[in-house]
Amino acid sequence: MIDPQLQDALDEAEMGMDDAIQHLNHELNSIRAGRANPQMLDSVRVEAYGTTTPLNQVANTAAPQADLITVTPYDKSTIGAIEKGITLANLGLNPTNNGSQILLSIPPLTEERRRDLAKNARAKGEEAKISIRNARRTAKDQIKKTVNAESLSEDMQYEAEESLQAMTDRYVGRIDKALDAKEKDIMTV
């Protein structure tokens, strides 16, 4: 039976690991895989109303076709700023302004670009693994401090650390599974 104070450290580590997985999933969704996905524009910032604003707060994005994203501004006067923001985001997309909305044609990916995107996805996965290892290290330090402060047994410390390592392995496995799925998605023509 793990001491409640040690369990608190494990619960905190699990929350940190969950956050890392959620962040990774968000990052992977923003990487295009040849099909139009409005989430590709999540990183776009627009200079509107005297401040830098996320695109989704000044326009509606949609993917009516597999190779097209439409961006319809809530206020037509911001269309130029939105177009500039998309260009500056360096997504490899060329915005076409038709006066009332911006059309983004998604070109087919080359083999080289697919490899670059897969490499980028792997890098984001490595960042998530680092976050998980940091959560593990923090929890392990907390476990040691608690064991020393409360004069708990070494068996209890060992059990908590073993549980922490099993949790870490489980989360790293989830990252690997998500990366494999995304890489397959990117490399599928």
DSSP assignment of 15-26: HHHHHHHHHHHH
State which of 86, 105, 124 marks the end of a domain. Answer: 105
CATH number reported for the structural domain that contains residue 147 in this entry? 1.10.132.20
pLDDT at residue 15 in the model: 95
State which of 89, 105, 121 marks the end of a domain. Answer: 105
Same domain, 9 and 73: no
Same domain, 135 and 166: yes
Where the chain has pLDDT below 50, the residues are none
Same domain, 63 and 153: no
- Whole-model pTM over 0.75: no
Which three-class secondary structure string do you get for 50-116?
CEEEEHHHCEEEEEEECCEEEEEECCHHHHHHHHHHHHHCCCCCCEEECCCCEEEECCCCCHHHHHH
CATH number reported for the structural domain that contains residue 75 in this entry? 3.30.1360.40
pLDDT at residue 125 in the model: 95
pLDDT at residue 188 in the model: 81
Same domain, 43 and 94: yes
Give the total number of structural domains in the chain.
2
Same domain, 18 and 75: no
pLDDT at residue 38 in the model: 83
State which of 72, 88, 105 marks the end of a domain. Answer: 105
pLDDT at residue 189 in the model: 65
- Domain membership of residue 76 as a residue range: 38-105
Same domain, 135 and 88: no
